[in-house]
A and B are shown apart, each in its own frame.
Chain A
Amino acid sequence: MDNHAILKAGAPAVLAIALAAVLPASYASNLLNWIAIAALIAASLRMVLLFGELNFGTAAFVSIGAYTAGLLTTRFELPFLAAILAAGVMAALVSILFGYVTLRIKGPYFKLIGFAFAEVVRLCCTQIDWLGGNSGMVGIFPPAGLDAWYGTFVMTVVVLMLVGLYAVERSDFGKVLTAIRDNDAVVRTVGIDVHRAKVICFAIACFAAGIAGSLQAFANTVISPGDFGVLLSIMALAYLKVGGEESIFGPVAGAALLILLGSVALSFGAGEHVFYGAAIVLSVLIMPKGIVGMVDGLLRRPGGPAASTPAIREARGQ
């Protein structure tokens, strides 16, 4: 990464953590937590989209993370950090099994299986007594000393995770993933195991989803199966579409806008969902490349990016 890229990504990251640190515990600080966690979930979804698949199972992996953290904290009194790490690892392990079987399938079937898996996991949680059944788990508290700083902690973990995901995306492995989305047959012909690459990427994404789930469990201190319906995956997709898919900032921008709008919409009572839905439709219509795409376009010279550079013009002219 060059200096410019570090500055471009580092400045907002530091600002976000600083904001989380100075904000006193309040509705606003809760909102900031939700935005950070939602951004991480959307970034997990985007990670799987790198190789071209839409993971509607995201909700399942968030819930696996949340339940793992909840169980380990309330029943086994595991240290806080260990529980968070275990949440990510558990989600990743399950995702390796799930991904190994399902990632051979492409297109609509993978989406449907992800959708079904999320429902199965949710239903299992409602049926299993030691997971709290329908009412879920209560009393998932972060350590008392951290209470005042929990928002800062969430933001720091989310920033670190996003940096990690970005590093994977920028690595040679990330390029291979993008190549799989673009033309997987070519990737196979050069001897790269496409299925293995997909499973690894899927596991990384689900690790992030599991971490997000554990952060959510500690933030709300209560979890129940209803929190992890398919709607969670769909909302993550909305954050991504509204924010912009092409950049790692997209999920962050989308989560921030939609969650802030959502908190405004709460005051509309029954009209909440209409308002919310309209906001999503409008932003996708007005900003087809999301917030980040639009800002990018405005910052560039009018006329947009040059489709033809001197080198190409020369090649055409010869």
Chain B
Amino acid sequence: MTDTTALLRTEALTRRFGGLLAVSNLDMDIRPNEILGLIGPNGAGKSTTFNLISGFHKPTAGRLFIGGRDVTGRSPEQISRLGLVRTFQHGSLMRGMTVRDNLLVGAVGALPQARGEPRRARVAETAKRLRLTAYLDERAGNLPHGLQRLVSIGIAVATGPRVLCLDEPLTGLNQSEVAGILDLFRSIRDEDGSSILLVEHNMKAVMQVCDRIVVLHHGQKLASGTPAEIGRDEAVISAYLGKRHDSH
């Protein structure tokens, strides 16, 4: 197994909400330099998994490791400082602030001690990378939807994460915007050497960009493997992929 090299690993991760078992005995790992897709129908436990690994929920049972270190029960801030940064499905940005200040918050998180110039440089660099430079002085809430998504991702990218966890980053984007973001994901993997955990409903994009995919169903891992393997998996097709994938 690749356990020793995994950036993030979950061991029998379980979360119960009253009578509902949202995530059950989930074993999953994210390796260096990979884009891992986490897919599954609505209610499969994707968001709960996200909340568990980012520290926003405490697991009912099971353990969470980052870089081989047991971080079960740590706060979101502590987990973020270990290099795991997430976005939220709805609005991971500060709408009342300028794009520049949004990115600055990410830069402050990444460079808590550095004042002034290093942070400004990080903001400029991130803006350039996400093609947001022209909008730096706009109020984020005034931007069209697609650009707001980019700002959300930009805040996380500005922290220089080792594992970037993105919750449905492509929702509501047009095709050219999607293509641009997928290129960005690849550059984060190939140039920064970071990994990405991607929860996404856009199957075509997931199949294109992911190195590996984990399929959740009723809170449990139904399958995992390369996109090609997942595309062939009978259990996955009957549970979820089915026509949606064929239609593309």
Contact = CB atoms under 8 A, between A and B. Distances in A.
Interface of A: 172, 175-176, 178-179, 181-183, 185-194, 307-309, 311-312, 314-316
Q: Identify the 10 closest CB pairs spanning chains A and B, nearest first.
A: A190-B109, A191-B80, A182-B94, A191-B109, A191-B81, A188-B76, A179-B105, A311-B134, A179-B94, A182-B96
B135 interface: yes
Given A194-B77, A311-B135, A312-B135, A186 B108 contact: no
A51 to B, nearest CB: 12
20 contacts: A172-B115, A175-B105, A179-B101, A182-B97, A183-B91, A186-B155, A187-B109, A188-B77, A189-B76, A190-B80, A190-B106, A190-B108, A190-B159, A193-B77, A194-B77, A311-B135, A312-B143, A312-B144, A315-B147, A316-B144
Given A190-B109, A192-B77, A311-B135, 6 more contacts: A178-B94, A185-B56, A187-B109, A189-B54, A190-B156, A315-B147
B110 A190 contact: yes
B92 interface: yes
A311 B138 contact: yes
Interface stretch (B3-11, B82-90, B183-191): B82-90
B110 A191 contact: yes
Contacts, number: 100
Contacts of A190: 80, 85, 105-106, 108-110, 155-156, 158-159
A186 B88 contact: yes
Contacts of B22: none
A182 B152 CA distance: 13
Given A189-B92, A192-B108, A315-B144, A175 B97 contact: yes
Nearest to B81: A191
B217 interface: no
B95 interface: yes
B119 to A, nearest CB: 6
Nearest to A186: B92
Nearest to A187: B105
